[in-house]
Amino acid sequence: MRRGRRGNFKTRLFIGAAIVIFALVRNWSQREENPYTGRVQAISLSPDQEIAIGLQSAPQMAQQHGGLHPRNDYQALIDNVGNKLVQSSIAKKTPYKYEFHLLADNKTINAFALPGGQIFITYALFSKLENEDQLAGVLGHEIGHVLGKHSNERITDSQKWKTIVMGAGAIDMGQIAQQYGHGQLLQNGRDDELESDKLGVHFMIEAGYNPEEMIGVMQILKAAAGPNRIPEFQSTHPDPENRIEKIREAIRKYKKAS
Ligand SMILES: [Zn+2]
């Protein structure tokens, strides 16, 4: 027996719509205000889960970058600056366990944070920094990713889009949904960077560092990119000029408040 094409389409449309609505309702129910940034975001992991994921992935991340750097004095400086930023800011009031690691990698200019507080900087980036304030800028930015719960939010986002793509697939619109979702994730990734820059500037001021040096960090990243090569730290990042402009805004805002 052959079913009419229209009836078939109606059924698929109904199923597809139900799946998309499920994804949106679930995402809506996951929304909550971040107590440290005040921003409402959809998240699906508890702080304990974030910390566990970070601790679990940390050894592998280190291994991908040649392991930890052997110089204890450099590592001590990084610990010192990182802890100063945490102790003098709202980061101290979070349940996260902040740990700062210098990676041996001397080729990849990069710094990154895992959920829950594991923070890394490669020697390639560390060796380009001109002063302690710039190091504070990099680490402050990464602390911003942690308490901004950005990984948590992106994991939750991609779950949402996976389900939406499945639902849209019922009426052969999966690919369009996927492209749209990908664009959204990239845009949100850029917003994360801007929020982390802003938080980083705030932490720098609170810890007594010169926030202008965050601009110095941007210039180092820009110069390191060269005409064709984009360092990983920047690959999902917004245009550096736009970032610098927002950093200047944040400096004006937080300097006035302090
Ligand atoms: Zn970042």
According to the model, what pLDDT value does residue 232 have?
Answer: 47
- Ligand 1 centroid, distance to 178 Cα (angstroms): 24
The tokens describing 254, both together, are 């937080």
According to the model, what pLDDT value does residue 258 have?
Answer: 65
According to the model, what pLDDT value does residue 256 have?
Answer: 76
Half-sphere exposure of 3 (CA within 13 A, CB side): 8
- Ligand 1 centroid, distance to 191 Cα (angstroms): 10
3-state secondary structure of 170: coil
CB 201 within 8 A of CB 251: yes
- Ligand 1 centroid, distance to 142 Cα (angstroms): 6
CA-CA distance, 158 to 77, in Å (whole number)? 37
According to the model, what pLDDT value does residue 224 have?
Answer: 80
- Ligand 1 centroid, distance to 146 Cα (angstroms): 10
pLDDT (tens, 9 = 90+) of the chain, 258 residues, equals 455 555 689 999 999 999 999 999 999 999 999 999 999 999 999 999 999 999 999 999 999 999 999 999 999 999 999 999 999 999 999 999 999 999 999 999 999 999 999 999 999 999 999 999 999 999 999 999 999 999 999 999 999 999 999 999 999 999 999 999 988 888 888 899 999 999 999 999 999 999 999 999 999 888 887 655 555 444 566 677 788 999 999 999 998 776
According to the model, what pLDDT value does residue 235 have?
Answer: 53
- Ligand 1 centroid, distance to 243 Cα (angstroms): 11
Long-range contacts of 73-80 (CB under 8 A, 24+ apart): 74/102, 74/123, 74/126, 75/101, 75/102, 77/132, 77/135, 78/102, 78/121, 78/126, 78/135, 78/139
- Ligand 1 centroid, distance to 69 Cα (angstroms): 21
- Ligand 1 centroid, distance to 24 Cα (angstroms): 27
According to the model, what pLDDT value does residue 228 have?
Answer: 55
Note residues around ion ligand 1 (Cβ under 5 angstroms): 193, 196
The tokens describing 56, both together, are 């679990």
According to the model, what pLDDT value does residue 249 have?
Answer: 96
